[in-house]
């Protein structure tokens, strides 16, 4: 089994969701909604969250693509930017 080094960075193809996967059971998501961005911290204790994290790690079915720390940090800055 391949061992992942965390954090891993993923995003959706439409650049509306950015993820920093901190481990097999937790991640941070930056969700862009219009001109705003919202930060979510997710603890993958429940089965559906663990499945979602596994799909992000594997980039399953083309829903998630590789991203970079720089892209994630830029999206994170949007959550703290003031209009």
Cβ partners under 8 Å of residue 46, min gap 6: none
- In total, the chain counts a number of residues equal to 83
pLDDT in tens, 16-73: 999 999 999 999 999 998 888 899 999 978 898 999 999 999 998 889 999 999 999 9
Quote the pTM value. Answer: 0.88
Question: How many other CB atoms are found less than 10 A from the CB of residue 4?
Answer: 12
* 3 belongs to a structural domain: no
Quick check: is 16 in a domain? yes
In a domain, 2, yes or no: no
Number of structural domains (the chain) is: 1
Cα–Cα–Cα angle for 76, 80, 83, rounded to 5 degrees: 125
Q: Domain range spanning residue 60?
A: 8-80
What are residue 28's DSSP bridge partners? 20, 41
């Amino acid at each position: 089994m391949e061992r992942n080094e965390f954090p891993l960075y993923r995003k959706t193809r439409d650049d509306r969701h950015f993820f920093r996967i901190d481990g097999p059971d937790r991640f941070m998501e930056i969700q862009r909604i219009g001109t705003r961005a919202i930060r979510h911290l997710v603890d993958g204790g429940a089965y559906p969250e663990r499945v979602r994290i596994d799909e992000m790690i594997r980039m399953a079915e083309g829903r998630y693509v590789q991203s970079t720390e720089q892209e994630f940090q830029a999206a994170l800055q949007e959550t703290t930017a003031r209009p």
